[in-house]
Amino acid sequence: MDLKYLVREPQNITSKTPILFMLHGYGSNEEDLFNFVPTLPEDWLVVSFRAPNDSSYGGFAWFEIDFNSPENFLEENEGNEAVKLVMENILKVTNRYGLTNNPTHLCGFSQGGIIVYSLALQYPDLFSKIACLSAFPEEKMLKNLVKDKKKIEKLRFFVSHGTDDAIIPFEWGKKGADLLYDLSAYFSFREYMSGHGVNQKNYLDLMDFFKK
């Protein structure tokens, strides 16, 4: 399946052009994170995917979520199929633009961030900068977790979470920092006095991370 997406192309594209893939949260769409484009590096290709499924609350979803059961937050096969689908589409877009020697970055919010964790930690050779916003690493989607520290140390993570998040608890978000610490990954964990979203300070810190 080819995912629908929005794209911002830089003036010049070569085999070394950096590309950023963005994955929205549950019930949202490809336009959500695409709003970041005006402040992202101008020489980057930016691709914002739309999830393939209609969500129960409008918008789109990568997989269904049981908000009333933390133990069964998601169905394992659905989650892993979503990761596989996104990976396939990342490779298709990369090949379409002839990118062969370029950095590939990821940014995911909430459900999209869960997928981003899985992609980065199962295919660390393929990625560079990783932003996980209001998300957490789901064990069911990390069966092929790479523990080779030499591969993991090439990645750079930005992890952020709101202290008053009522959708994905702050404690779940801290699991990401704990896991990255155990893997000896390079990361920054930022907490903000906000709910399930990206406030202004979070946004500015994220842009600073991408521009460094």
User: What are residue 131's DSSP bridge partners?
Assistant: 107, 158
Domains and CATH numbers, the chain: 5-211 (3.40.50.1820)
pLDDT in tens, 148-205: 989 999 999 999 999 999 999 999 999 999 999 999 999 999 999 999 999 999 999 9
pLDDT in tens, 66-97: 766 656 677 889 999 999 999 999 999 999 99
Average pLDDT over residues 121-148: 95
Dihedrals phi, psi of 5, to nearest 5 degrees: -160, 160
Look up residue 92 and give its two tokens. 């298709």
Average pLDDT over residues 93-122: 97
d(CA 202, CA 176): 17
pLDDT score recorded for residue 66: 77
Tell which residue, 77, 66, 70, 62, has the closest CA to residue 25.
62
pTM reported for the whole predicted model: 0.96
